[in-house]
């Protein structure tokens, strides 16, 4: 016959829970650090730019022009500022359960795609906008709301020729290791695997 103290069982359960929570926090911190590093490589991440600063930058641009910046609201890490048919607007990016997605009204949230990184999220909506603008998917919502278009990033400075070539290569192939290039160049290409 074995007797277990309820206090010791409770302690073991709490330690296990605490260890799991610690691993989740470390995983989240790692994912956020990677997302931030990837964002810095894009050239269209503006860091601590304010909402008013983003509005000034986007004011005279065409619909679909966008940039990503740090969110000014505590509960969010990043914000996409974009020009819409109604003028400049801001879309918060939510980070929850290790994934990034656009913030939205409660009814729509479960339908929104989730991504491992902010750049993946932006890349998805850019691709969706490009597909939609070619007439394959209707862009005009029937309820009179403003349609999200992300087509043209606003760079903090003129991107290097190497970076622009990397984006062009990423648009055409995902088989970088198969290209007849020196390993150093392949490493550069695989350091940024996005096409935006």
DSSP the chain: -----HHHHHHHHHHHHHHHHHHHHHHHHHHHHHHHHHHHHHS-B-TT--HHHHHHHHTTSPTTEEEEEE-SSTT-SEEEEEEETTEEEEEEEEEETTEEEE---TTTGGGS--BSSHHHHHHHHHHHHHHHHTTSS--S-TTSPPPP---EE--SSPPPHHHHHHHHHHHH-S-GGGSSS-HHHHHHHHH-----
- Both 76 and 167 in one domain: the answer is no
Structural domain span for residue 122:
17-156
pLDDT exceeds 90 at position 23: no
- Both 128 and 189 in one domain: the answer is no
Tally of domains in the chain: 2
What confidence tens digit (pLDDT) does each residue in 32-66 have? 999 999 999 999 999 999 999 999 999 999 999 99
Does residue 105 lie within any of the structural domains? yes
**What does pTM read for this prediction?**
0.76
| Residue 106 binned pLDDT confidence (cut-offs 50, 70, 90) | low
């Amino acid at each position: 016959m074995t007797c277990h103290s309820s206090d010791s069982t409770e302690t073991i359960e709490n330690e296990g829970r605490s260890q799991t929570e610690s691993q989740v926090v470390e995983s989240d911190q790692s994912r956020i650090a990677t997302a931030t590093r990837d964002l810095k490589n894009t050239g269209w991440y503006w860091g601590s730019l304010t909402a008013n600063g983003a509005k000034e930058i986007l004011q005279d641009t065409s619909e679909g022009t966008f940039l990503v910046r740090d969110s000014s609201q505590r509960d969010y890490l990043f914000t996409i500022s974009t020009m819409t048919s109604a003028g400049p607007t801001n879309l918060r990016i939510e980070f929850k359960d290790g994934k990034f997605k656009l913030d939205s009204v409660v009814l729509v949230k479960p339908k929104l795609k989730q991504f491992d990184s902010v750049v993946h999220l932006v890349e998805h909506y850019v691709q969706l906008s490009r597909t939609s603008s070619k007439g394959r998917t209707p862009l005009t919502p029937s309820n009179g709301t403003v349609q999200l278009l992300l087509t043209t990033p606003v760079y903090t400075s003129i991107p290097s020729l190497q970076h622009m070539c990397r984006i062009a290569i990423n648009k055409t192939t995902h088989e970088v290791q198969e290209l007849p290039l020196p390993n150093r160049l392949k490493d550069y290409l695989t350091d940024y695997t996005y096409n935006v």
